Structure 1
Amino acid sequence: MNAPAPISTMRTSPDYPDPDFVVIDVETACERVSSICQVGIVGYRDGGEVFAYETLVDPRDTFSAFNIGIHGITARDVAGAPDFAQVHARLEAHLAGRVVVAHSSFDKGALAAACTRTGCAPITARWLDSVRVAKRAWPDLTSHRLNVLADFLGLSHRHHDALSDARAAGQVILRAIEHTGTPLEAWLATPPKARARAPEPAPDGPLAGMRVALLGEAVDGPLAQWVAQAGGRIVAGVGRTTTMLLVATKHPYGRFVEASPAYRKAEELRRAGRDIAILTEAVLRKRIGAF
C-alpha cells in the first residue's frame, strides 16, 4: 500500500517554460470517477521535466475500502485539503490548451466528471493516451499497464501515487518517441482505427436474448465470436440495456479489475435495480459448455 503524498506544490511557478506536453494522473476515493482525492501533474519540454505539481483533494465523497487498498489515501489524509473547486483554477492553468497525456481515458473522464459535479468549467485540451502510444511502440509486451511499462523501461515508480504515475506516463511518451523516431505531433495526428464490428448473434443458443459487454477483449475478437455463436449480442459498452458484463480471461486490469470503468458501471446499474450479471469468461464457459 502506498503512503499518501502530502499537500504540496513542487517546482511550480508562473514563469516555467511552456511545456511540449503535460501529464496528469488522478486517484479517486470510491467507485464514482468524480471522487478525485489526489492529483499529480508533470510538464515536459525538450525531453526534460520543467515543473511538477501534486495535491491531495477533499473529494466531498466517501472513501471505499477497495480504493483505499489501491492508493492508501483515506478520509483522514485529505482532512483540510482543498476540494476540487478550489484546485480547479490551478489545474486549468497547467492543462488548458495544452497537449495533455494520461495513461488510459480514466483520468480524462474523472476530470470531466469532477468539473460537472462541482459546476466548474470543463478544461479543454488536446488529449493523448499513453496506453495507445505504448501499444504501438512496444506491441510485443503482454501488458501495457503503467507498472509493467515502468519495470520494462527501468523507471523508478510508485504505482497509484498520482505524481509518480504522471512522471512514469510522461517517460513512456519520451521513450516511445526515442524508440520509434515518431515525434509528438505525429502521435497526436494518428487517425483512429476503423470501428470494429461485433459479430451477428446466432438465432438461438444458451445466450439468446442476452446483451453482452466485454471487459478486456475487442468486440470482434475470439471471445466475442464465441458469445455470438451462443446467441448473445455483443454491445460496445455497459449501458442500461446490458444484461451481462463478461470479464475476459486476459484483461489489462490484473487484480484491480473491479476498479475498471466497465465493472464500476455494471455495479452501479445493479445497485440501481438493473438485472445485469457480472461473470468471468471461465465461469460462463463452464456453465454453457463449448460452442
Structure 2
Amino acid sequence: MEIIELERSISLAAPGDATELDFVVVDVETACSRVSSICQIGIVGFRDGREVFDFETLVDPLDHFSSFNTRIHGITEDHVAGKPTFGDVHAIVNRHLGGRVTVAHSYFDKGALGAACRVHGRDVVETTWLDSVRVAKRAWPQLSSHKLNVLSRYLGIKHKHHDALSDARAAGYVVVKAIDHTGIPLADWLKPANPRGGKAPKPATEGPLKGQRIAILGAARDGALGHWLSARGARVVASVGTTSTMLVVSSDQPFGRYFHASAPYRRALELQQAGGSIEIVSEEELTKRLDLDPRSTGR
C-alpha cells in the first residue's frame, strides 16, 4: 500500500491554505519512553465546528516497544511491521499541520513531533499550537480533572482512549464545545491568558468606592470595568489578597455559572471564612447598589 493511500480525506484543504480550516488536531502514540518513538499518528481537520477530514497511520518508530506503552495503547512491533517510518510520513504531516492552527491535548504531541523530526532529519513543522487542556481548564474550571477521557464523558464525546485518531477527534470537539460554551472565538483562545491585564488605571480622588481595593474576576483590570471602578475611587488590584476589600465578578467573565470554581473566587471565600472582610459581588449587583447604569458610562 502506498503511503498516500493511508489517508482518508473529506473536503481536504489545499496544502498550506490556512483559510480553508479553522484548525487541525494531532495526537500521537509512542513506542517507549523516548518521545521520538512515534508509532501512531492521528490528525483531524475542523471547519465551522464540523470535522471535515481525518488522517491516521501506524508508524514504524525504528525503536523498541516497552511493555508499559503497549499496555496503554495496545500497539506492538507486529502491528507496525512494514509500516512507514516517521521520515516517510513527515511530508503528509507537514502538509496537514504546516501554516495552520494545530490543537493538541497537552504539548506532549508537539514535543514528540519535534523530537521525531530531529531523529529522522526532517524540518520541524511550522504551525501555531493550541493546548486543549488549557482551553478545557478555562471553559470548565469546576472539573477536578481535564484528562481527555474525563472531558469526553462529561461532554458526551464518543472516544476510544489512547487511539491516536480518536484522541485527536475528541480534543477537537473539546475546543468546538468550549467555543460554544464560553462564546470565546478561536482567535482569542490563541492569545496568552492574562486576566490581570496591564497597568490598572489611577483611582479617582473621590467617589463612592474610595478606599476600596477591588480585584476583578473574568476581566482585565485595565479594561472597561477596571476603568469604571477606578473612576469611582476604587484601587483595582491584580489579584485577591489579604488587603483586598472586594472581588467583583465581571458580567463578561468566561466561567459561566461555574465562576465559583475559579481560583480568585475560592481565595476570596477562604479569606471570608478566615474572618476577612472581603466582599464578593457581581458587576450587576454593584452597579445597582450605586444606582448607576454602567452602559451610560462606557460599560
Q: Identify the TM-score tier after normalising by the shorter chain.
A: 0.5 to 0.7
- Of 8, 11, 20, 2:9 maps to 11
Asked whether the equivalents of residues 25 and 39 of structure 1 are also in contact (C-alpha less than 8 Å), the reply is yes
Deviation at 1:47, TM superposition (A): 0.7
Query: For residues 20-99 of structure 1, what are the structure 2 equivalents within 5 Å?
Result: 20-99=22-101
> Any idea what the Cα deviations from partners look like across 1:166-221, whole Å, max 9, x if unmatched?
00000000000000000000000134689xxxxxxxxxxxxxxxxxxxxxxxxxxx
- Deviation of 1:14 (Å): 5.4
Of 178, 189, 192, 2:191 maps to 189
Cα deviation for residue 15 of structure 1 reads 4.9
Please list the CA deviations of residues 48-107 of structure 1 after superposition, one character each: whole Å capped at 9, or x if unmatched: 111100000000000000000000000000001000000000000000010000000100
1:57 and 1:78 in contact (8 A); partners too: yes
Q: Distance in 1 between the 2:123 and 2:103 partners?
A: 20
Amino acid corresponding to residue 180 of structure 2 in structure 1:
E
**How far apart are the structure 1 equivalents of 2:12 and 2:110?**
24
Separation in 2, partners of 1:165, 1:109: 17
| Counterpart AA for 1:39 | I
Alignment partner for residue 178 of structure 1, among 162, 177, 180? Answer: 180
Which protein shows a greater Rg?
Answer: 2
Work out which of the residue numbers 118, 121, 129 in structure 2 matches 1:127. Answer: 129
Distance 1:95 1:9 in 2: 14
Query: What secondary structure, in the 3-state scheme, does the structure 2 residue paired with 1:43 have?
Result: strand
> Which stretches in structure 2 are left out of the alignment for 5+ residues?
197-299
Q: Distance in 1 between matches of 2:101 and 2:61?
A: 26
SS for the counterpart of 2:190 is: helix
- In structure 1, the residue matched to 2:154 is 152
Distance 1:12 1:58 in 2: 26
Classify the secondary structure of the residue corresponding to 2:189: helix
Q: Distance in 1 between matches of 2:9 and 2:128?
A: 24
Kindly tell me the number of residue pairs found equivalent between the two proteins. 188
Whole-Å separation in 2 of the counterparts to 1:66 and 1:25:
19
Q: 1:18 offset after TM fit, Å?
A: 1.8
How many percent of aligned residue pairs carry the same amino acid?
62
Please say if residues 135 and 178 of structure 2, whose CA atoms lie closer than 8 Å, have aligned partners that are also in contact: yes
1:142 aligns with 2:183: no
Alpha carbons of structure 1 residues 15 and 133: separation in structure 2 relative to 1, 3 Å: closer
Once residues 35 and 53 of structure 1 are traced to their aligned partners in structure 2, the CA distance between those partners, rounded to angstroms, is: 19
Structure-2 separation of matches of 1:62 and 1:19 = 36
Q: SS of the counterpart of 1:33?
A: coil
Q: For 1:115, give the aligned amino acid.
A: C
Tell me the C-alpha RMSD between the 2 structures: 1.7
Change (3 A) 1:46 1:13: closer
TM-score (norm 2): 0.61
TM-score (norm 1): 0.62
Query: Which one-letter code corresponds to 2:177 in the other structure?
Result: R
